[in-house]
Amino acid sequence: MSNHTTLERKSATETPLSAVRGRLDVAATARQAGLVGVILVLVLGFGLARPLFLDGGNLMNILLQASVVGVLALGQTFVLITGGIDLSIGSTVAMCAVVSGLLSHSLPVPLAIIGGIAVGALAGLVNGLLITMTNITPFIVTLGSMSIYAGIALIIAGGQAVYDIPTGFQDALAGRIAGVPIPVLLFVLLTIVAAVCLKRTVFGEHLTAVGGNAEVARLAGINVKRYTAAAYVLSGAAAGLAGTILVARLGAADPTLGADLLLTAIAATVMGGTKLAGGEGSMYGAAFGAIIIATLTAGLTTLNVQAFYQQVAVGSAIIIALLIDQVARGRR
């Protein structure tokens, strides 16, 4: 546009360019630094109480325990960002575990693994289509599919665990590379990929807009339904991968697997700063959340605190994390 004399007036109320505080990227970095701080405090605290806790093997073990929940939390973050929720991930884990376990009996290992993940993606697609094609809320749709997928897992497994998983399968997803368990490597890599996908791709940008305000996104010509469905596909695929990792680790595919994973994954996600209302989320936050929960469980077990109290501790951690987040936001 050409210059025009009518525009001399400057808006006096605006923030000057130098204002770093309040910038979104700065705020996100600060929140993640806070989570890393929490992890460090927990590790050092437990380490002071039980020096054995700081053993490299133990710390790697914590990451290993965090990896399955972490992968699920990454998928769940995509869904929560759209303002939805995926309650079916636990059942999807079981279903994909059984499918990949059965496939591994007859197909080459890579195909069995991809088959498991594909079934997860398909399960997510079914969720996504039901949510976008009907007016039923994500909570209800995935509550229904949670039960359906759990049933399907039991049906195809005949009610019993699938055994005789080839060692190739177990090596592929539960082995070690340079001393690091493969689930941990996958977890770290996927966290980076998911974070790049969310913050550095048009897909992530549009997904965030859809969750932040679907009407705005629609008026800007974004296909809201397609993006929403895609989030569930990603969540389902993540559950599929989590399922195949568990099969490899356990050497068996149990159709009742995964019942305790759903709420832990959601807890990790919200602890990381993802809003249930949608439009805001962090992949690194979800990963750190999963690590915090695993650290708490391992640390409290080391201190011989019973599971009942551990539940109280994890629950308190979620609420405290969100309180800190809120206070930090309030200040801005």
Partner 1 sequence: MRKTAAIALASILALGVSACSSATSAEESGAGGSYTYTSDQEGVKSLDGVALASTIGELKPAKKYRVAVILKALTNQYWQGIQKGAKAAADKYGVEVTIQAASSEKAQTEQLTIAQTLVGQKFDAYVVAPESTSNLNPALNQMRSQQAPVVNVDDARVPATVFIGPNHEENGIQAADELAKLFPDGGEVAQVEGQSGSSAAILRIKGFKEGVAKHSNLKLVASVPGNWDANASYAAAQQIIRQNPNLKGIYANNDTMAIGVAKAVQESGKKVAVIGTDGVPEAISGVRNESMAATVSPLPYYEGFWAVESAIGLLEGKEIAPWVVAPAQLITKENVDQFYDTEGQVITDLYK
Partner 2 sequence: MTTDRPMLEIKKLSKSFPGVRALHEVDLTAYPGEIHALLGENGAGKSTLLKTLFGVQQPDSGEVWFEGERRSFSQPSDALHAGLAMVHQELSLVPQFTAVQNVVLGREKARAGFIDWREARERAEKSLGRLGFDARMDIPVRRLSVAQQQLVEIARALAVGARLIILDEPTASLTTQESEQLFALLERLRAEGRGIIYVSHRLAEVMALSDRVTVLRDGTLVGTRTRAEIKNETDLVKLMVGRNVDAISRVERSEGPGEEILRIEGLSSAEGVADCSLSVRRGEIVGLAGMVGAGRTELVRGLIGADRVTGGAVWIRGERVHIGSPADAVKAGIAFLPEDRKHQGLVLHMSAASNATLIKPPRRRGLLDRRAQREQTRALLTQLNADIDPGYPVGKLSGGTQQKVVLARWLKTASDIFIFDEPTRGVDVGAKGEIHALIRELAEEGKAIVMVSSDLPEVIGMSDRVVVMRRGRIVAELSRSQISEEAIVHHAAAS
Q: Based on the shown chain and the rule CB under 8 A, indicate whether residue 26 belongs to the binding site for partner 2.
A: yes
Question: What is the DSSP secondary structure assignment for residue 52, as one 8-state letter?
Answer: G
Window contacting partner 1 (CB under 8 A); options: 2-10, 15-23, 28-36, 195-203: 195-203
Which amino acid would we find at residue 256?
T
22 binds partner 2 (CB under 8 A): yes
Closer Cβ to partner 1, 113 or 325, answer by number? 113
Distances (CA, A) of 39 to 31, 33, 60, 62, 226: 13, 10, 14, 11, 37
Residue 331 as a binder of partner 2 (CB under 8 A): the answer is no
Residue 269: DSSP 8-state: H
| Phi, psi at 29, each rounded to 5° | -60, -40
68 contacts partner 1 (rule: CB under 8 A): yes
> Contacting partner 2 (CB under 8 A), which of 177, 219, 307, 327?
219
Q: Is 249 in the site for partner 2 (CB under 8 A)?
A: no
- Whether 283 and 191 have beta carbons less than 8 Å apart is answered as yes
Shorter beta-carbon distance to partner 1: residue 86 or 254? 254
Tokens 């629609």, residue located: 218
Based on the shown chain and the rule CB under 8 A, indicate whether residue 330 belongs to the binding site for partner 2: no
Site for partner 1 in 132-191 (CB under 8 A): 154, 158-161, 163, 167-168, 170-177, 181-182, 185-186, 189-190
Residue 193 interacts with partner 2 (CB under 8 A): yes or no = no
Residues 276-315 touching partner 2, rule: CB under 8 A, are 279-280
Instruction: List all residues 6 or more positions away from 52 whose beta carbon is below 8 Å from its beta carbon.
Output: 58, 302
Question: Does 196 participate in binding partner 2 (rule CB under 8 A)?
Answer: yes
Nearer to partner 2, 15 or 106 (CB): 15
Restricted to residues 50-79, the positions that interact with partner 2 (CB under 8 A) are none
Interface with partner 1, residue 249, by CB under 8 A: yes
Residues 6+ apart with CB under 8 A from 185: 177
Integer angstrom CA distances of residue 70 from 42, 155, 234, 314, 331:
18, 28, 14, 15, 30
Please, is 188 exposed, middle or buried when counting C-beta atoms within 10 Å of its C-beta (0-12, 13-18, 19+)? middle
Closest to partner 2 by CB, 222 or 247: 222
Q: Could you count the other beta carbons within 10 Å of the beta carbon of residue 54? A: 13
x/- mask, partner 2, residues 260-279, rule CB under 8 A, reads -------------------x
Q: How many residues does the chain have?
A: 332
Complex with partner 2: residue 119 or 217, whichever CB lies closer: 217
Instruction: Pick one of partner 2, partner 1, none as the site partner of residue 150 (Cβ within 5 to 8 A by kind).
Output: none
- Under the binding rule (CB under 8 A), the answer on residue 130 touching partner 1 is no
Residues 271, 264: Cα–Cα separation, whole Å: 10
Q: What is the C-alpha radius of gyration for the chain, rounded to an integer number of angstroms?
A: 22
CA distance 2 to 329: 40
Which residues sit at the interface with partner 2, rule CB under 8 A?
1-2, 4, 6-7, 9-11, 13-15, 17, 19, 22-26, 196, 199-202, 204-206, 208-209, 212-213, 215-223, 279-280
